[in-house]
Amino acid sequence: MRLARPALPLVVIGVVGVVGVALTGACGTTGDADDPDAGGGDAAPDAAPLIPTPARARIRAPARRQACPVAPGGLVEDGGLVPIDRCAFPLEDRDEWRDRGAIVDDLAAALDTVPLADVLGDLNRTATPIATGALPGDAPGVRQAFGWQSGDNGVAYWIPQGITGSGDAVTGGRVDGRRVLMVSWYYDPAGDPGSTVDKGVRVAVVDATDPTDVRYRFVLLVDPVVVDGHASFAPVPVHAGGLAWVGHYLYVVHTGVGFRVFDLDHVMKVDTSVDAIGYDATTDAYHAHGYAYVLPQVDTVAQVSACAPRFSFVSVDRTSTPPSLLSGEYDATSITGRLYRWPLDAATGRLQVVGDGRVIADRAWWSGHSHLQGGLALDDNLWLSSSKPPGAGGDLYHAREGAPSQTFGWSDSPEDLSYDPVDASLWSLSEAAGARYVFAVDRAAVE
């Protein structure tokens, strides 16, 4: 399905509580010359980009460098979310739409660009249904679960991490009438004896509409590049701990950097006969390590803060105004992992840009939990998945400001979270080789 652009049907589907406040107060994003963190000017592009770059509105406010917040002495585990100064963690839209778009245009001239519906009609792997009472761990209210095909369940060098779905992507929560999930897998060369390359990240496109017949196919994420004057692409070697699907954009977290943005309107079909990547002049063909489809990156939104926010996971919050992305930090040694909510432009599905390309969080919190692997926000409620303690059943925390967290049993080695508003289901997954599951639970069971 080709999703219409530029408008995206991002709608408010709930009454906004504490988590739904708009940006208030200035964060020094004017780009004044005396601001050491300021970005560049608003020079117009010299050519129309593939995807038009939205105009940037300046916010007239005193330029200032934010001090990095220090965790309060009273921060206690399970004590509830504690707000942080949101201004301390600016991101910068690198505005790569034009340059990457030019390469993507050249690739599209040489390759078949296919709608997502074509990928969904070409699924080549079959998942294993798991009875709701047979899912390992103590997750309550399990509604649906499946395991990966045997080779994917046990493979040592591809490891699942992030999850998102059509419930995030579009109003109505379905693509061509189907419940579609996307799950990121990162490549670990150390687990693949003889490997000399990093193959980056593949994304499983899953049709989970029928719990008894779940099918999927992998699409390789690629970075458009020019090699010897020829449009080509390279792997995307990141951990990909979280995914967020917004309209035709797929956001992928890059741990120490921020977000990489991919365009689902530009899925391309390539030759599968060679285990290599990019353009091969000898065969005059494009390859993607044997995968039939590639998904190109179109932009990067990177952190530019001395406070060094990390991006371990991400999810879509459609209950905030405007809709937003919730990202957070994994921390195995303390409960000071931070959470951030980044506003989206409801008309485009891009992160909301202010003064000179900056993206400013509209909320930030100390989580009060360790080992966080996923986070999800709905109204004034947050759910956080944790792998603490390693080797045992993970936990799911229901967290809010001003109230202690509730703890629910979860799966071992849990990862990212996603929400499907159609049936009020929380989706998650586990990563351990030989015990890799994807599952959904009833929201009411974890409130």
The rounded mean pLDDT for the chain is 87
Arithmetic mean of pLDDT, 193-207: 96
Grade residue 17 by pLDDT with cuts at 50, 70 and 90.
Answer: very low
- At 67 the pLDDT is 85
- At 389 the pLDDT is 72
Work out the percent of the chain whose per-residue pLDDT is above 90. 81
For residue 436, how many C-alpha atoms fall within 13 Å in the half-sphere facing its CB?
23
- At 56 the pLDDT is 33
Arithmetic mean of pLDDT, 83-108: 96
Q: Which is it for the CA torsion 94, 246, 118, 274, positive or negative? A: positive
For 342-393, write each residue's pLDDT tens digit.
999 999 999 999 988 899 999 999 999 999 999 999 999 999 999 987 666 7
For 263-316, write each residue's pLDDT tens digit.
999 999 999 999 999 999 998 999 999 999 999 999 999 999 999 999 999 999
Grade residue 406 by pLDDT with cuts at 50, 70 and 90.
Answer: very high
Cα–Cα distances in angstroms (integers) from residue 199 to residues 183, 217, 225, 289, in the given order: 16, 16, 15, 7
State how far the Cα of 244 lies from the Cα of 126, in Å rounded to an integer.
24
**pTM of the predicted model, to two decimals?**
0.87
Q: SS3 of 363, please?
A: strand
Q: Does residue 2 contact residue 115 with C-beta atoms inside 8 Å? A: yes
Arithmetic mean of pLDDT, 75-85: 96
State how far the Cα of 58 lies from the Cα of 315, in Å rounded to an integer.
28
Arithmetic mean of pLDDT, 50-72: 52
- At 32 the pLDDT is 29
Arithmetic mean of pLDDT, 112-133: 97
Q: SS3 of 389, please?
A: coil
Provide the residue type at 140 as one letter.
P
Please determine, for residue 217, whether its predicted confidence score (pLDDT) is greater than 70: yes
How many helices (H) and strands (E) the chain has is answered by: 4, 30
Q: How far, in whole angstroms, is CA 415 from its chain's centroid?
A: 12
Grade residue 107 by pLDDT with cuts at 50, 70 and 90.
Answer: very high
The length of the chain, given as a count of residues: 447
State how far the Cα of 291 lies from the Cα of 218, in Å rounded to an integer.
7
State how far the Cα of 246 lies from the Cα of 324, in Å rounded to an integer.
10
Please determine, for residue 80, whether its predicted confidence score (pLDDT) is greater than 50: yes
- At 59 the pLDDT is 33
Question: Is pLDDT larger for residue 17 or for residue 137?
Answer: 137
- At 66 the pLDDT is 67
Arithmetic mean of pLDDT, 127-151: 95
Flag the least confident range among 32-36, 56-60, 139-143, 395-399. Answer: 32-36
State how far the Cα of 26 lies from the Cα of 64, in Å rounded to an integer.
10
Cα–Cα distances in angstroms (integers) from residue 340 to residues 327, 371, 384, in the given order: 5, 16, 13
Grade residue 65 by pLDDT with cuts at 50, 70 and 90.
Answer: low
- At 27 the pLDDT is 79
- At 25 the pLDDT is 60
Grade residue 238 by pLDDT with cuts at 50, 70 and 90.
Answer: very high
Work out the percent of the chain whose per-residue pLDDT is above 70. 85
For 246-257, write each residue's pLDDT tens digit.
999 999 999 999
Question: Is pLDDT larger for residue 23 or for residue 107?
Answer: 107
Arithmetic mean of pLDDT, 216-233: 97
- At 393 the pLDDT is 79
Please determine, for residue 34, whether its predicted confidence score (pLDDT) is greater than 80: no
- At 309 the pLDDT is 97
Question: Quick count: other Cβ atoms within 10 Å of Cβ 408?
Answer: 18
Angle at 395 between CA 392 and CA 397, to 5 degrees: 165
- At 270 the pLDDT is 98
State how far the Cα of 363 lies from the Cα of 340, in Å rounded to an integer.
6
Arithmetic mean of pLDDT, 57-65: 38
State how far the Cα of 251 lies from the Cα of 258, in Å rounded to an integer.
10
